[in-house]
A and B are shown apart, each in its own frame.
Chain A
Amino acid sequence: MVALVISLALFFDFTNGFHDTANAMATPIATGAIKPKTAVALAAALNLVGAFLSTEVAKTVSGGIIREGSEGIQITPDIVFAGLMGAILWNMVTWLKGLPSSSSHALFGGLIGAAIAGIGIHSVNFESLMQKVVLPALFAPLIAGGVAYLCTRLAYALTSRHDPETGDKLTQKRGGFRTGQIFTSSLVALAHGTNDAQKTMGIITLVLIAAGTQQAGSGPQWWVITACALAIALGTYAGGWRIIRTMGAGLTDVKPAQGFAAETSTASAILASSHLGFALSTTQVASGSVIGSGLGRRGTSVRWGTAGRIAVGWLFTLPAAGIVGALTALLVKTGVIGVVVAAIAGTAAVWYMFIHSRKSHVGHHNAVEVEEAGHAVQFRKKKPAGKPSKSTKDVQR
């Protein structure tokens, strides 16, 4: 059972990786700062490094949300199994449907649902849940968005060049930001590793604690860290290839200066939260930043309808994954047959969705979240000719 859960957790880590490559690498690919192949490889490598950097979030996941050990409530590998099932299935469904969602919230939702159905409502530490999951989920995108707005304003104010006598616009020469994007997007990938890989580490640690092979309250073991880092890096690398096909269109309107500001804000927000052990959703932070930077640049309007749709998707993730997790937990409770049924049903569902995704339109794939955020920010068409281009054609010769 433990081995089964660990492999399931690593698979979740893998889906998480390919779900989220877009967060870091969508903008630089769109602005042409990095070639897609390089970008994906870079993101994978940095995710790997990031996973080793900090284990604060893993401790939050393994120690905070579900009461374990000393307080008398034993969380069993069965529960974690059910929770992971909920998370993976919800991840796959949203991925297939193109609904924007957060893999982190799917994970928490699945676990909470499974714990409630399998043990009882008293097993969930709601206080810790509020403080470490719900509050960051509300605030992180707002913080990132606000900071991105400010940074975009600053970046444009500092680099806008006017002729001192006539007041005409000079060539803006903002191409330097494109080079900068290589570094900021790398930082986002790194930050993603420090936050998202940790969640799986936390889960595996939770299982090991539950199975009695590890002491309660201790951090993840080194082989767990290594396995999770590798799984998320592999996922990132695999996911990138799908993004290349569709990503071009969604975010092309994001200018390098904006992308730079948005990515800096995303990376700062995620790294700061990781450091404090907040398990927030990288997807939500990245979307918040993109919208914020869209608001910060003149001549853009945000499509609040799309933004609202993203928000609704966020609201649904936790309960929906929770319900799947709860159902699986009830099934698992019936005994070995239940576990087998759940495992087979889960695998079949994942395979079905995977095969189905192969058939369906490319637009329905994992890059959706950030792409949607990109769509939410609509740009007015630039006035043709006459004025010197604000863009970056003139540099990088």
Chain B
Amino acid sequence: MKWLEVVTVAGATLVAAVTVVVLYSLGVRLTAIAGDVRESNPAWVRPLAYACFGLCGAAVLFGLYLIIPYFSK
């Protein structure tokens, strides 16, 4: 039955895309907050933004790692 595979593709697409977009958006948001001039922001905002970008990149690399057959042997 191929419906299972269709569902798998849908699920994988959803999870992967949402993870990447959410992390990246948070990063963008936090960078924006950290860039605000007038407000005093906690010192952790900018590092957290970078952490979000980092996690996002890690998520992408992990996805590629899962796909490339060379690694899964």
Contact = CB atoms under 8 A, between A and B. Distances in A.
B48 to A, nearest CB: 14
Among B16, B28, B63, the most chain A Cβ lie within 10 Å of the Cβ of B28
B21 A261 contact: yes
A171 B32 CA distance: 9
A173 B13 contact: no
Contacts of A278: 5, 9
A264 B17 contact: yes
A155 B25 contact: yes
B55 to A, nearest CB: 13
Contacts of B18: 147, 150-151, 154
A260 B24 contact: yes
A384 B45 CA distance: 33
B41 interface: no
Interface in B26-61: 26-29, 31-32, 35, 57, 60
Interface stretch (A92-100, A135-143, A312-320, A327-335): A135-143
A158 B17 contact: no
B6 A135 contact: yes
Chain B binding site: helix, strand, loop or mixed by DSSP?
A: helix
A54 B64 CA distance: 11
B9 A139 contact: yes
Contacts of A144: 13
Contacts of A260: 21, 24
A268 interface: yes
Interface in A263-289: 264-265, 267-269, 271-276, 278
B29 A151 contact: no
Interface of A: 53-55, 131-132, 135-136, 139-140, 143-144, 146-148, 150-151, 154-155, 158-159, 161, 171-174, 176-177, 180, 183-184, 187, 194, 257, 260-261, 264-265, 267-269, 271-276, 278, 395
Interface of B: 2, 5-6, 8-10, 12-14, 16-18, 20-22, 24-29, 31-32, 35, 57, 60, 63-64, 66-69
